Each structure stands twice: as structure tokens, then as C-alpha cells.
């Protein structure tokens, strides 16, 4: 996965004429922390897990990035995602560098008490390298506002009251309104900005969304209230299709009651992965990485791919999409709504005041629209893919900050 991020980085760096030594400086992480986490299970046995925090680059501000609890968490994966965060923060111009990390555990096998003990132990192990002005973790796959609340509490116990040490906290505990919907809403703003260039609006297109979790479900909501026709959605158990458009609010209500899409009455059930090949204008992977590969690109019918998930398109698939005239709005831009509202949460914590939801939404719109315009203008002017343009903007900003600070 690190190779994939590096590939896109190098492609842009070559176009910019950046020398190999500076490339190496910008490619590799500044710090990799690996810790052993030993806890007592409810049964009284000891269990050991490995935790990681990779800090990629802090030329533009403190490190920032999610914590993932998943058996696949390792150094390579965290490093790739940390680099993505550096570029993402620079593209949307929030004053952060990139980091990522997590614990190689499966939260489904852990009781709430065990999850809390693992989180507190991990926090104390990495407390020297995180902090409101140092590195600010956030939720990612299988971590949520409760886990952020434990991190804040444990860090504050060691260092004094520090709500700004993490973002994505519960709204009742120094979290920000609008953080839960931020990534999905940001994707909708990004699509709207792209469609303006086609003289179209959200309501003029049909959409399919892979993944109906935090990102997919809020995205579906924000597309449909703007008149977009969402024809298919999927989750880990299966997919549903209605070419006339799903009643998104009814689907959301079904999922919040039943926990999955399966059984939803007003749609056809289709095999889960067939969602990727349904007739639609815009296909949004909002679940996992590595979804589009050289094996399946030829089956995709959409003409616009919007990467709400991180790294859903392999470099070979990306090239094949380009050759076929299919546009790809890349992860580093499309899903940056989360880091933008995380920035708002941090700012509110530090200054000890609160914005309301309308304010957050309009500020998010400003940040996303400005970033999208900068990237789309560059792609148009230089006749390069949107992803390459996004990396050029990011590398330019991080490179400049690095040089100004003094290497
Ligand atoms: P989530 O855990 O809330 O939801 C994931 C969804 O994907 C679930 O509905 C799950 O059932 C579904 N899914 C899993 N495997 C699937 C499969 N093989 N086919 C179809 N559906 C499948 O996660 P999320 O927060 O919505 O994140 C989704 C993606 O967006 C991840 O790649 C994440 O890294 C990325 N992302 C999330 C945020 C954020 O703020 N949450 C920000 C930026 C990027």
C-alpha cells in the first residue's frame, strides 16, 4: 500500500522536476512508533497486541490522522495512510502534517471493558509523541467517539485538561457539531464542484455507493436531499438496486433498525460486488481500499469515480480509467471533509468556544470548494489527471513549508 501512495507521489514529483533527494525527504515518515500493549482480559488471562503511530511529515503543522483497530494494521499500512494524510491536509489547506496508526486487534472479539483498557494503555504508551500541538489522533475504521473520549481522558490524566489532543469526540464532551457527517457531506460538495464544470448539478446524475457506514450513509443523504438519484448501495452483507432511485431516508431507517441493508423491501437485492458494475453516472467507493483493479475496471459503467474511501483504485486501474476517459476524483481531495471538520473541532477546543451546525457546514463548504477549484483548475490548465494535480498542489505546499523552515 505504501508503494501505491509513493507511486502517485513520484508521478507528480517527476512532473514538478523535484530532485531525488528532496523526493526521499518528502516520501519517508519522520517517526515510526511501535508499542506492545499488554492487558488483562475479562477472563483474567493476559493478552498482547501491537500498536503503531506513524508520523509522516509535520512541515505545515502538528501531525494529524486516524487510529484504526483492525487485524490488518501494520507499519506499512500505517505509513501509507500517514503519507496520504500529509497530502490531504495540504490540499485542503488545514495547518497539519500527516500521521496514522492503530492497534492490530479485532474489536468484535473484545468486551467494552477490554476495549477501554487497550485504548488507555495505548494512549499512555504513545503519550510522549501525541498532544494538542504535536500529534492529534482521530477516529478511523472501528474506532469511534467513545474511544476518542477515553484517549482524551487518559491523556488529560497524565498531562492536565487537554480536549484538543484528539478530534471526533462526542459532541457532549468537547466534540464538534457536524463531525459525524463531515466526510460524506464533503464528498457531496466535491461532486457538486466537479459537476459545475460539466454545467450540471447533483440532481442531474445517478449514483451508486459502495459502503453504507458513516461516509456512505451521510453521502447518500446529502446527495438525495439535493435531488441526486441514488440507484444502488451496498454493505459488507450485500447490495440493493432500484433504477428509479432508492428512498434514501427509508434505507437509512431500515439500516438503523436492522443493522444491514439485507431485507430492505423496496429494491432488488443483488450480489454485493455487482454494485460496482451497475448502470449509473457516478460510482462512489466508500468502504475499502483496493476495490478497482486491472481485473475489473473494464466492467465499470460509470463515467465518474469519486474516491470516498482511502486508496480504492490501484495505479494500474487508475491508468485504465484514464485511458477509457473515466474521470477519477481522488481520495486526497474527495474525502477530506473529515480532516476539515476535525480542524474546526481542534480550533474550537483551543479557543474554548463553539460554532453551530450551520456555521460548520458553510465553513466546510468554503474549504472544500476552494480546494476543489484549485485542483480542478490546475488539472484543466496542465491537461493532467485530477489526482496528479492534487498531488502537485500538496507537494508544492509541503515542499515550500519545508524549505522555509530550513531543512
Ligand atoms: P464504516 O466502518 O462506518 O463503514 C464501512 C461500510 O462499508 C459499512 O457499511 C460496511 O458494511 C461496508 N463494507 C465493508 N466491506 C464491504 C464490501 N466488501 N463491500 C461493500 N461494503 C462493504 O467506515 P467509514 O468511516 O464509512 O469509512 C469508509 C471508508 O472511508 C474507509 O476507507 C475510510 O478509510 C474512509 N474515510 C473515512 C473517513 C471518516 O471520517 N469516517 C474519512 C476519510 C476517509
335 Cβ inside 6 Å of ligand 1 = yes
Q: For ligand 1, atom 3, which residue shows the shortest CA distance?
A: 213
CA 101, CA 29: separation in Å to the nearest integer? 12
Bridge-based pairing of strands 46-57 and 31-40 is antiparallel
Beta strand ranges found along 16-144 (DSSP E): 31-40, 46-57, 63-69, 97-103, 135-139
319 Cβ inside 6 Å of ligand 1 = no
CA 407, CA 404: separation in Å to the nearest integer? 8
User: Could you identify the atom of ligand 1 that is nearest to the CA of residue 212?
Assistant: 9
Examine the residue annotation and report whether 34 is marked as an active-site residue of this protein: no
Cell of 149: 473520549
pLDDT the model gives residue 1: 64
Convert the pLDDT of each residue in 154-187 to its tens digit.
Answer: 999 999 999 999 999 999 999 999 999 999 999 9
pLDDT the model gives residue 2: 67
pLDDT the model gives residue 21: 85
User: Could you identify the atom of ligand 1 that is nearest to the CA of residue 235?
Assistant: 21
Block means of pLDDT (10 residues each) for the chain, 407 residues, are 82 92 89 97 97 97 96 91 95 98 95 98 98 96 94 97 97 95 97 97 98 96 98 97 98 97 97 98 95 97 97 95 97 97 97 95 98 98 96 96 86
Query: Are 269 and 238 within 8 A, CB to CB?
Result: yes
Mean confidence (pLDDT) of the chain:
96
pLDDT the model gives residue 148: 97
Cell of 215: 461516509
3-state secondary structure of 381: helix
Convert the pLDDT of each residue in 46-102 to its tens digit.
Answer: 999 999 999 999 999 999 999 999 999 999 989 989 999 999 999 999 999 999 999
pLDDT the model gives residue 3: 76
Among candidate residues 23, 25, 29, 28, the one with its CA nearest the CA of residue 10: 23
Cell of 201: 448539478
Distance 347 CA to ligand 1 centre (A): 26
Among candidate residues 25, 6, 143, the one with its CA nearest the CA of residue 81: 6
Q: Which of 34, 64, 88, 100 is catalytic?
A: 100
Distance 125 CA to ligand 1 centre (A): 28
pLDDT the model gives residue 5: 81
Distance 90 CA to ligand 1 centre (A): 23
pLDDT the model gives residue 403: 86
Q: Which of 288, 333, 336 to mutate to test the pocket of ligand 1 (most atoms within 8 A of CB)?
A: 288
Beta strand ranges found along 247-389 (DSSP E): 268-270, 282-285, 304-306, 327-329
107 Cβ inside 6 Å of ligand 1 = no
Buried (b) or exposed (e) across 190-229, using 16+ Cβ within 10 A? bbbbbbeeeeeebeebbbbbbbbebbbbbbbbbbbeeebb
Bridge partners (DSSP) listed for residue 31: 55
User: Could you identify the atom of ligand 1 that is nearest to the CA of residue 183?
Assistant: 40
Q: Domain 182-334, what architecture?
A: 3-Layer(aba) Sandwich (3.40)
User: Could you identify the atom of ligand 1 that is nearest to the CA of residue 216?
Assistant: 26
Q: For ligand 1, atom 5, which residue shows the shortest CA distance?
A: 213
Bridge-based pairing of strands 238-241 and 229-235 is antiparallel
Structural domain boundaries of the chain?
Answer: 1-180+337-407, 182-334
pLDDT the model gives residue 6: 87
pLDDT the model gives residue 19: 87
CA 23, CA 12: separation in Å to the nearest integer? 10
Which fold does the domain 1-180+337-407 belong to in CATH? Rossmann fold (3.40.50)
Note whether 1-180+337-407 and 182-334 share their fold: yes
Amino acid at each position: 500500500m505504501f508503494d501505491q501512495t509513493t507511486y502517485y507521489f513520484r508521478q507528480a514529483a517527476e512532473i514538478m522536476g523535484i530532485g531525488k533527494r528532496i523526493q526521499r525527504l518528502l516520501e519517508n515518515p519522520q517517526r515510526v512508533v511501535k508499542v506492545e500493549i499488554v492487558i488483562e482480559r475479562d477472563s483474567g488471562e493476559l493478552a498482547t497486541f501491537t500498536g503503531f503511530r506513524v508520523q509522516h511529515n509535520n512541515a505545515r503543522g502538528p501531525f494529524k490522522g486516524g487510529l484504526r483497530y483492525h487485524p490488518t494494521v501494520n507499519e506499512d499500512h500505517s505509513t501509507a495512510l500517514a503519507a496520504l494524510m500529509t497530502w490531504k491536509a495540504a490540499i485542503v489547506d488545514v495547518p497539519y502534517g500527516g500521521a496514522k496508526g492503530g492497534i492490530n486487534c479485532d474489536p468484535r472479539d473484545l468486551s467494552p471493558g477490554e476495549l477501554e483498557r487497550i485504548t488507555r494503555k495505548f494512549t499512555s504508551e504513545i503519550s510522549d509523541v501525541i498532544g494538542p500541538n504535536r500529534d492529534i489522533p482521530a477516529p478511523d475504521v472501528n474506532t469511534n467517539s467513545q474511544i476518542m473520549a477515553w484517549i482524551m481522558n487518559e491523556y488529560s490524566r497524565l498531562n492536565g485538561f487537554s480536549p484538543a489532543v484528539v478530534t471526533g469526540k462526542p459532541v457532549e464532551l468537547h466534540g464538534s457539531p457536524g463531525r459525524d457527517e463531515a466526510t460524506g457531506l464533503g464528498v457531496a460538495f466535491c461532486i457538486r464542484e466537479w459537476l459545475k464544470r460539466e454545467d450540471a448539478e447533483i440532481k442531474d446524475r445517478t449514483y451508486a455507493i459502495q459502503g453504507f457506514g458513516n461516509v456512505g450513509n451521510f453521502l447518500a443523504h446529502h446527495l438525495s436531499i439535493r435531488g441526486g438519484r441514488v440507484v444502488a448501495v451496498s454493505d459488507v452483507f450485500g447490495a440493493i438496486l432500484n433504477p428509479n432511485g432508492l428512498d434514501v431516508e427509508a434505507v437509512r431507517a431500515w439500516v438503523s433498525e436492522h443493522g444491514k441493508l439485507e431485507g430492505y423491501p423496496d429494491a432488488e437485492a443483488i450480489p454485493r460486488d455487482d454494485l460496482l458494475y451497475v448502470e449509473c453516472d457516478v460510482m462512489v467507493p466508500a468502504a475499502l481500499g483496493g476495490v478497482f483493479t486491472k481485473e475489473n475496471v473494464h466492467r465499470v459503467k460509470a463515467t465518474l469515480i469519486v474516491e470516498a474511501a482511502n486508496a480504492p483504485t490501484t495505479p494500474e486501474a487508475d491508468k485504465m480509467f484514464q485511458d477509457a476517459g473515466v474521470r477519477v476524483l481522488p481520495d486526497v481531495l474527495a474525502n477530506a471533509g473529515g480532516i476539515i471538520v476535525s480542524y474546526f473541532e481542534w480550533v474550537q477546543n483551543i479557543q474554548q468556544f463553539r460554532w453551530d451546525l450551520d456555521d460548520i457546514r458553510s465553513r466546510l463548504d468554503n474549504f472544500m470548494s476552494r480546494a476543489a477549484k484549485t485542483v480542478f483548475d490546475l488539472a484543466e490548465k496542465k491537461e493532467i489527471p485530477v489526482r496528479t494535480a492534487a498531488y502537485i498542489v500538496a507537494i508544492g505546499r509541503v515542499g515550500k513549508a519545508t524549505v522555509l523552515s530550513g531543512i
